[in-house]
Amino acid sequence: MLTALARYQLAIVPVADAEIARWRNRARAIPDPHLRRLTLATLTEEDSNASAAAVFALLAPRSARREAVELLTAWQLMYDLLDTLTEQPSPDPLAAGLRAHRALVASIDPAMPLDEIPAEDGGYLRELAATCRRRLWRLPAAPAIASAAAAEADRCAHAQSHTHAAVLHGDQTALRAWAERDTRWHSSAWWETAAAGISSLAVLALLALAASPRTTPTEAATVANVYGAVCALSTLLDSLVDVTEDETSGNTSYFAHYPTASDAAAGMGQMARASMAAADLLPAAAVHRTIVSGLVAFYLAKLPRSPRADQAQAADSVRAQLGPSVDPALVLLSLRRHGPRPLSQRRARLL
């Protein structure tokens, strides 16, 4: 665990931060002022997501690690930007969301024309997708993971689009119906299935595996099938951190769907246990376990110093399932959060 954390901090984070800075500079050239502000705001507020996404490069061999970091960072930046763009009001938010999110699949599938991606931003989103595709298909196992990764990206597209449409319409009926139809990874609670759908983690794991020539289509399919619990845990933890803000803004809160604080603690604890069990089913199980521990630490480090009682109860339940494995990453991330940020991560001036 400590070796992996050191490798992530010393060899992966600097490359990810440099990529984030490069894309931030590119975003400043977006001609439309509104889209420029949205894009730069997303880069400022969500840059830690892209840096965290690069942890999946631990699955890549050293010779391909830089390429994997650049791919993972760009894909997460694209995902977060689409999340922001599809939160904006629209006459038909579901259709608009599905149209915009085609970029996720186009970034993986070379058969999908890139000119289907909207270019009102001066081609910034299209450039992100093209960069991801180009970097992916330079990796040796891209053909082995492409089908599974494209299917997971399409699932993300539908889950995100339905989630944002539910907020904009003030009605979760279609979101719930979508989750109840989804069979890739299905929980007894529909909101846990929906939470799994909107997470990018399964795609990131698959993209990282493209860097290893030993990856097979069977391994890729296994990752896609078992990462559902990890994806659900990620979204639920994110929702846990934002629960107060979501209550104020009216955003979808997957955490708030649990009937009681005890139900939330039990459900999220079970999801943490299932995530570790999923990691044990995969090749390089120790790396996947480290990633799950790092994921939990990433969100727990974002909790307020004095969390609400329901937040604290759920966080304690999740942490109890992982035991001491989460502590080193939690200490490191807490120091990064509360200490001075690197220059490349400081607030960008919104032009």
Residues in CB range of 189: below 8 A, 6 or more apart: 257, 267
| Spans in the chain with pLDDT lower than 50 | 339-351
pLDDT for the residue numbered 336? 60
Among the residues of the chain, which ranges form H helices? 2-7, 13-27, 33-53, 65-85, 93-100, 102-106, 124-136, 142-169, 173-181, 190-197, 201-209, 217-226, 228-241, 243-249, 261-280, 285-300, 309-322, 327-338
pLDDT for the residue numbered 343? 32
Domains of the chain and any CATH numbers: 2-345 (1.10.600)
pLDDT for the residue numbered 137? 98
CA 273 to chain centre: 20
pLDDT for the residue numbered 246? 87
Q: Which amino acid is at 328?
A: P
pLDDT for the residue numbered 266? 97
- Contact, 108 vs 157, CB < 8 A? no
